[in-house]
Chains A and B, each alone.
Chain A
């Protein structure tokens, strides 16, 4: 396996939400999460709405300040760095957003949007800036002459290309892709997914690919982490997760994805009910209210993420029991 890029240790993010009558509620969006990201890989992070996957991504980039935990890069905890020193890390870590309409300022031309990162990082020579903008634009498949257009003059797919170019112009090592194809049409998704794969190879990128779409995650990832209500419940190599999913939630998730082939008749694992309220976390495993294989201890003891097989981690009392 390649070398370690980043290690996330016991990361937590708690939001305090103020209710109407001044009553404060705590929401543990990310709850004691630990994992590693290796150089050059794509780690897929899947989970359903509100499971905390986007919050986790934003905490890693310090777009949100985590409540506790550490992120180790180059042997130091980047969460403890003062803002001035952290700015060096900013250019090494970038993000691509889901909504190609909200992620580009409507009053800037594509050129100005792509030039912005260079200006922020002090590139004073306008000729160099022009060259670099043109280079990255052609890499992501944007026509140079279209760069004087405003975002609303581009199609959704083209806008997403601008978003990718903006993230890559500083030549980062690590890119968080937060649902980058979810807002796009089916026929455009493939263009963007292929582009991301190509760029990963040519620019030696590491991706954290956040998505709710298991088919997309399977296509692009090397390893996959499954999240449920703020916790990672399983991490493994891609093939391993799809061939031998261990956590009951992962299994239900996999069985729920419709497959575009009427000949394949699978056994559906239908979960009961909805996820419980995130504001009143239950003791024990957070999945136990919907789990088909729950045991008595599941409602009492929170399972730890344990290694089961080489590189296969799962947080469930069914495995590695004492």
Chain B
């Protein structure tokens, strides 16, 4: 078995809102191996972004709080770490890229400054060295004329270029884990293809593990080795990409795969999933998918199914297995 870089155990992150407590992450178990890309898929509001923000302890404060669980990263439990200690981990050992690079790059600084800042903050190098390294990084993310672009402000770059800058900034300190939260959702497909290829190449070169968060099953199939499916604050299934697409076990995963239109194999009619995503303030009892599940039976609305291991390391949380 390969070495684990991240192991999340029974993580619970709750958010207090005026309407009540949102159980955004409610008992998540997740593992990522070294140099692996894990896809975390789910619909909006299923808690996938909140899981990622919990790893870096960047969830909204003071509304948000990790109420239970452990996040073991490189041998230490991040839940126990102080804000001061997290400060040194963020950006150097774990870094993150977001969906909208316009709002995550500081508009009043040239893009080169951001990269130099990350480098000088976490490594013992002077500004001159950092400047050279930043140019090299921009070159690595295939930004043409990197010397010139160093001085550009974020608004002077296109969406795709901004995302490249974000990637350069995130990978500047060769992190062990890169968290990519819907990094291509705001981009056009032709640009998305460029960025996905780039992330894959750099990840291989830098030996970084990637937690790839997306709602797009197509993107998962093309970029990840393993995949975890999240529904209403819980992981319902996790497996290798091949196994999951070949033989999805959880009814939610199955339904998701039959409900999306596919470009390669057209269908006459889509099979939609009835109902809507549950409210995480008062999630349904038992299995959270049971009100929408076509194959529910007796225990589903009472007992909560646990993740159980199946053939080939395939994990699924469903009473049918």
Binding site for B on A (CB under 8 A): 48-49, 155, 157-158, 185-191, 193-194, 197, 212, 214-216, 218-220, 242, 252-264, 268, 270-271, 273-274
CB of B263 within 8 A of CB of A212, answer: no
Whether A48 touches B190, Cβ cut-off 8 Å, given contacts A216-B261, A259-B262, A259-B263, is yes
Query: How many B residues touch the partner, as a band?
Result: 35 or more
Provide the residues of chain A in CB contact with B223, threshold 8 Å: 258
A-B pairs, 10 with minimum CB distance: A258-B218, A219-B261, A190-B272, A48-B188, A260-B217, A256-B193, A190-B270, A190-B259, A191-B272, A187-B273
Whether A260 touches B245, Cβ cut-off 8 Å, given contacts A187-B255, A193-B270, is yes
- Closest residue of A by beta carbon distance from B189: A256
Of A155, A194, A256, most B-chain CB atoms within 10 Å: A256
A213 CB to nearest B CB, Å: 8
A18 CB to nearest B CB, Å: 18
Provide the residues of chain B in CB contact with A274, threshold 8 Å: 158, 160-161, 191
- What is the bound-complex CA distance between A257 and B158, given in angstroms? 20
Q: When the two chains form the complex, which single residue of A212, A214, A255, A262 contacts B193, counting CB atoms closer than 8 Å? A: A255
CB of B216 within 8 A of CB of A258, answer: yes
A192 CB to nearest B CB, Å: 8
CB of A262 within 8 A of CB of B43, answer: no
B211 CB to nearest A CB, Å: 18
Q: What's the A-B contact tally at a CB cutoff of 8 Å?
A: 128
Chain B 238-268, CB within 8 Å of chain A: the 1/0 string? 0001100110000000011101111110110
Provide the residues of chain B in CB contact with A214, threshold 8 Å: 189, 263
Whether A49 touches B188, Cβ cut-off 8 Å, given contacts A190-B270, A270-B197, is yes
Q: A219-B266, A260-B257, A260-B260 are in contact. List 20 more A-B contacts (CB 8 A).
A: A48-B188, A158-B276, A185-B43, A185-B44, A185-B215, A187-B273, A190-B270, A194-B270, A197-B269, A212-B188, A216-B261, A219-B270, A252-B190, A259-B222, A260-B218, A262-B242, A262-B245, A270-B197, A274-B160, A274-B191
Chain B 211-249, CB within 8 Å of chain A: the 1/0 string? 000011111111100000000000000000110011000
Whether A186 touches B266, Cβ cut-off 8 Å, given contacts A262-B242, A270-B197, is no
CB of A257 within 8 A of CB of B270, answer: no
- What is the bound-complex CA distance between A193 and B161, given in angstroms? 33
CB of B259 within 8 A of CB of A189, answer: yes
B260 CB to nearest A CB, Å: 6
A86 CB to nearest B CB, Å: 34
Binding site for A on B (CB under 8 A): 43-44, 144, 158-161, 188-194, 196-197, 215-223, 241-242, 245-246, 255-257, 259-264, 266-267, 269-274, 276-277
Provide the residues of chain B in CB contact with A187, threshold 8 Å: 43, 255-256, 259, 272-273, 277
Whether A259 touches B218, Cβ cut-off 8 Å, given contacts A186-B260, A273-B144, is yes
Provide the residues of chain B in CB contact with A256, threshold 8 Å: 189-190, 192-193
Provide the residues of chain A in CB contact with B271, threshold 8 Å: 190
- What is the bound-complex CA distance between A210 and B35, given in angstroms? 40
Of B194, B222, B241, B246, most A-chain CB atoms within 10 Å: B222
CB of B264 within 8 A of CB of A190, answer: no
- Closest residue of A by beta carbon distance from B257: A260
Provide the residues of chain B in CB contact with A215, threshold 8 Å: 218, 260-263
Provide the residues of chain B in CB contact with A259, threshold 8 Å: 218, 221-222, 262-264
CB of A189 within 8 A of CB of B260, answer: yes
A293 CB to nearest B CB, Å: 15
- What is the bound-complex CA distance between A76 and B192, given in angstroms? 43
Whether A261 touches B245, Cβ cut-off 8 Å, given contacts A187-B256, A187-B273, is yes
CB of A157 within 8 A of CB of B276, answer: yes
Q: When the two chains form the complex, which single residue of B259, B263, B273 contacts A218, counting CB atoms closer than 8 Å? A: B263
Whether A212 touches B266, Cβ cut-off 8 Å, given contacts A189-B259, A258-B216, is no
- Closest residue of B by beta carbon distance from A48: B188
Provide the residues of chain B in CB contact with A257, threshold 8 Å: 189, 218, 263
A141 CB to nearest B CB, Å: 11
A212 CB to nearest B CB, Å: 7
11 contacts between A and B (CB under 8 A): A155-B276, A185-B44, A186-B217, A187-B256, A194-B270, A215-B263, A220-B261, A258-B192, A258-B196, A262-B221, A270-B197
